[in-house]
Amino acid sequence: MLGDRWSLLIIRDVMLFGPRTYKQLLESHERIATNILADRLKRLIAYEIIRADPEPADKRKLNYSLTKKGIDLAPVLTEMVLWAGAHEKTENQALIRQMRRDKEGFIAGIRERWAARQS
Amino acid sequence: MLGDRWSLLIIRDVMLFGPRTYKQLLESHERIATNILADRLKRLIAYEIIRADPEPADKRKLNYSLTKKGIDLAPVLTEMVLWAGAHEKTENQALIRQMRRDKEGFIAGIRERWAARQS
DNA sequence: CATTTCACTTGCAATATGCAAGTAATCGTT
DNA sequence: AACGATTACTTGCATATTGCAAGTGAAATG
């Protein structure tokens, strides 16, 4: 279900940066193939981990965002980023320092920003 | 690196049950193909997540166990199991209840049993 | 109203996975 | 000591998944 190369990366992006469009997701993971991204988004929607809402300001666009089940992955993703930060060369040291300084607070922040958007 | 269907399941097994042999790993995940298991073990060793030590009592056998980098995945795996327990039908409810009751203690227990074996 | 942009889809080649049948070393039994 | 069973793989081949490049149609932009 999450056992493929891309799903968790997609979820991580939406989790960290908020609602993303197809194009934003394509460009952020330099090498994901367009058909695979389309397929993964379809599957993640079917699993109710993400959802797609039309952007009112531009009817071509869809905003992909996390469901409740999706943000509940925040602790998993946070631990993964921390592990990678400790054991692999990784960019985004600032993010990792922030996570390490206050892990629970970091996760709570993600949840709060998500809840605020659900209004 | 962990972005495939089997690696995290293999690591989870070794984490929860301690050193495992090839045969035990083959049988525990009902459907992993033998060539794929061999390949994943090779890769996980190359990444220094697991290691293989010969069993003194039976020279045919190798015991696969976690390295330091490997047990550092304990929080990731624990959060994953908790997430799956909350959102998917899953067996092993007893394990999940234990993890939920005292997550930090659960992880500490894994680390302690691992450290004891490293003697 | 022609050109871009966006969110995909399609076709095909490359890669990864799964299955079944080996193989070599060691073990357990006679 | 000899023989069959076990263990940890490897090999060959079919099938499934992924990646790449070139579309497509609808909506925005100039």
Local structure of B63: helix, strand or coil? strand
Q: Provide the sign of the torsion angle of the four alpha carbons A69, A78, B46, B109, taken in this order.
A: negative
Q: What pLDDT sits at residue A89?
A: 87
Number of domains in chain B: 1
Residue B91 above 80 pLDDT?
no
Q: What pLDDT sits at residue B67?
A: 98
Pairwise pLDDT comparison (A30 vs B13), residue with the higher score: B13
> Model confidence over A34-70: pLDDT tens digits?
999 999 999 999 999 999 999 999 999 999 999 999 9
CB contact under 8 A, B75 and A79: yes
> Model confidence over B26-62: pLDDT tens digits?
999 878 999 999 999 999 999 999 999 999 999 999 9
Q: Is the CB of A62 under 7 A from strand C?
A: yes
Evaluate whether residue A2 is within a structural domain: no
Question: B100: which 2 tokens?
Answer: 């939920």
Question: Which residue, among A67, A78, A80, A82, would best test binding to B if mutated, counting the most B CBs under 10 Å from its CB?
Answer: A80
Three-state secondary structure readout of B93-110: HHHHHHHHHCHHHHHHHH
Evaluate whether residue B92 is within a structural domain: yes
B76 touches chain A (CB under 8 A): yes
* Number of alpha carbons in the 13 Å side-chain half-sphere of residue B1: 13
Residue A19 above 90 pLDDT?
yes
> Model confidence over A78-98: pLDDT tens digits?
999 999 999 998 878 999 999
Evaluate whether residue B1 is within a structural domain: no
Per cent of chain A over pLDDT 70 is 100
Evaluate whether residue B43 is within a structural domain: yes
CB contact under 8 A, B5 and A4: yes
Q: Pick the residue from chain A with its C-alpha nearest to B49.
A: A87
Q: What is the mean pLDDT of chain A?
A: 96
Evaluate whether residue B83 is within a structural domain: yes
Here the CATH number for the domain that contains residue B67 is 1.10.10.10
B9 contact residues in A (CB cutoff 8 A): 3
Q: What pLDDT sits at residue B44?
A: 98
CA angle centred on B89, ends B86 and B93, rounded to 5°: 70
Q: Is the CB of A21 under 7 A from strand C?
A: yes
Per cent of chain B over pLDDT 70 is 100
H or E element that contains A52: strand A50-54
Evaluate whether residue A101 is within a structural domain: yes
Q: What pLDDT sits at residue A90?
A: 84
Question: Alpha helix locations (H) across chain B?
Answer: 7-17, 22-28, 34-46, 68-71, 74-87, 93-101, 103-117
Question: Alpha helix locations (H) across A1-119?
Answer: 7-17, 22-28, 34-46, 68-71, 74-87, 93-101, 103-117
CB contact under 8 A, B76 and A72: no
**First vs last C-alpha separation in chain B:** 29
Mean pLDDT of B91-119: 95
Evaluate whether residue A1 is within a structural domain: no
**Farthest CA pair distance, chain A:** 43
Q: What pLDDT sits at residue A119?
A: 84
CB atoms within 10 A of CB A31: 7
Residues of the domain holding A109: 7-117
Q: What pLDDT sits at residue B30?
A: 78
Pairwise pLDDT comparison (B101 vs A92), residue with the higher score: B101
Evaluate whether residue B2 is within a structural domain: no
Q: Which residues pair with B64 in a beta bridge?
A: B20, B52
Q: What pLDDT sits at residue A116?
A: 97
A56 touches chain B (CB under 8 A): no
